[in-house]
Structure 1
Amino acid sequence: MVFNFADCQYTGKILNYNYIIMFKKLTTVSVLTALFSYSLVYAQSVGVNTDKPGSTLDINGSLAAKYSTVTAATYAMTSGDFHISYNGAGNTTFTLPAAISGEGNFKGRMYTIKNNTAFTITINPAASETINGNASFTVAPNQSLQLISTGLTGAASTWDVSGNSSAAITASNGLSLVGNDVRLGGTLTQNTAIDYADKALYLRSNNTGFGLTGISNINAGTNAATILQLTNDSGNALNMFLNSSTRSFDGGANAATINNSGGPLTVAGNNNLAQFAIGTSGLQYNYATLDRLRVDSNGDIYMNRPEEPGGGGNKISASKGHLDLSGYNTLNGSSTQVYLGADGFKYSYNGSTKVIIDGNGTVSAAGGFVNTSDMRLKTQIKEIEYGLQAIMALQPKQYELSDNPEIKGGKPAVDPALKSQHKIGLLAQDLYKQIPEAVYKPKDDTKQAWAVDYTALVPVLIKAIQEQQVEIEQQKVKITKLEAEIQAIKKKLGL
């Protein structure tokens, strides 16, 4: 059956002239519906604007279907939808209608969905149904998708997918997917090489070459070197060389060199908090913008660490081998030397060792030890409260003392039983209960050890001897008196 809308002519065995008049009065949709009905009944082909249809329905012209615009955060699709355009302000979820088994089955129904936003559309089928075997489908920003009903129900794949979505495009190994664009930028997932042979790889910040990065080979052959070069707008360059085994300059064979052609070379960390600068004046170390260390062109070293309450000052250490500091004292024509090494600490003057602190912490001094005790430096002078009674309360002990005095977490850093020395003395914690002035008690004894100042016990011992001597003198008087009384008694008894 063929119907031509242009001249309202009908070719077939069913319709007559009255039908033609009727079709002229019907709307296009009504006519199309009627034609579908006749084609279903008589299994004929229908043509619109053509008298020779090549398909069951052949439309020689445009076809309009329903166009819907959605902005809601959720949308339930119905049989009245065909093309849905999303223009919302956030992510949204579309829900497909449930498939129908038997009468009312809409196998072949099509929906077209266009995402015009920077957000994501999630499409969910009804209940346990699936889309291409998936529980849901996503339409990425600026992508479109067409869904076609398979006519199946239940857990079967009830919808086929045709068209574009983010699922059809992937990006990996240093690339990222933005909408339908694959862009440079992302995480490398495998070892990746760019072979530039004898050419250069340039990464330019602009077309004039400022900030130019060039990776290339220079001086091919025996003088070859690989160079990474950064160039600024004045033409100065930062070059990083890796030399071949026979290259004779830029550090020599197999050398790696970093060179700034137009100014000092600075190595910085923590957002420029700490810096090393190499320039025409030598090597300089800065911390928090302050000059802390300099080595000038003559090799002279200058250290500039300010004194701090409770400590500070410059420190020099040698992690392996001994540290030997020696020089000539121009003030009195004498040479001095400080040795720090396996034997401990040694101070020598004019070739003679004057002070030794060995590895066990034992101190030896050729001239002995003195404590400052000038009366002019003392105030609030009064008698001490400790004496014989305090001394009698002390409990001298013998023990094995660990060679490592460190305390960590309130416990010895090293098991005392591993290495120790046999000693006699007092326990600091016990002594503190009797004479706290003779004990060093750390502010945090979970990190530091207690200590005893044995020289502080000397005044207490002196006071104890004095008190004891008073008692002795008193006892002498008593003894003399008792002896006189005994002699008197003997005399009376005639003994």
Structure 2
Amino acid sequence: MRKYIRAIFLSYCFTSLGIYAQVGMIGNNPNKNAILDLNKTNGTNDKGLLLPKVTLTSTTAASPMSAHVAGMHVYNTATAGTGVAAVTPGEYYNDGSKWIRLITDLEPWFNSSTKTSATSNTQNIYQMGKVGIGINSPAAPLHIDGKQTLGILVNYTNAAFTGNIWDGTASADGVDISNNSVRIQKGSGGSGTPLMLSKGKGYTSANMTEYYVAGNRVGSVVTTGTSVVYNTTSDSRLKENIKPTHYGLSDIMKIKVDDYNYKADEKKTLCTGFLAQELYKVYPQAVTVGGENEKTDPWQVDYSKLTPLLLKAIQDQQMQIEVLKNKIEILETKR
């Protein structure tokens, strides 16, 4: 009975007057550096501290608390949330803005060629499982969620990185793999080729690159061993509504050929070719229509698509030549 009366009295003192010293178990001498010492008098105990069990919904949500509180420590019992915000059963603490899981697992990385856990950031390490960055269910040995502005960035400098690789404004050359794209910038750091493809001496396949859309091959670049060939799919089995073209010599005569230089070219190099907007009026098949911004979305011309038109014009011209030859022969015979 005395124990209960004493406990009630102490509880009253703590709650009514506040605590201004170390608190310990009854009968022990609390450590002066601890606010609460749960050990016995001899500094040990045979019992543990049972944390409050809660059901977290994600690392970013304070729930079931009303707000994030830095230093809060709980044991989560739920498996919830998605992506990097997912939570699983285990101990969590709050840093004031999110829940962070206490890592209690063994070191997942091994020292090279051993089964010994890695202990230093200078060791060569490996892991037999899959690694995910930005994703909690990796599908490959290294799976990176590249939905951000930059997914994988490889560049040659440790300096602060600014600008964009995709438009050539990056402060350092590099390779960026993100948003389902591979972007390469080479030039700000000196000379060099942005992309190089090669085959060994004993290669057996001629293909250098292949292009597919929805499972269908639409083009390729192949090598003959001494040169390259650029191919666009033109299989007759893939075509329909086949008929002779209405384009010909008369259309060729409507196309303007101009001399010009590009405004961005400081050397003002002379070029000869077409103005996309003008060519579109005559032969739109060779033109890709652009947008409002001529720098980021310009009108473009595929000069190779003019080849069929040129060939048809030559055929028309040859027919005219044959007609004229026949007329000349008739006139010659009448002399």
TM-score, L = length of structure 1:
0.31
Q: Which has the higher strand share?
A: 1
User: Taking CA–CA contacts closer than 8 Å with sequence separation of 6 or more, which of the two structures ends up with the larger relative contact order?
Assistant: 2
Question: Which of the pair has more CA radius of gyration?
Answer: 1
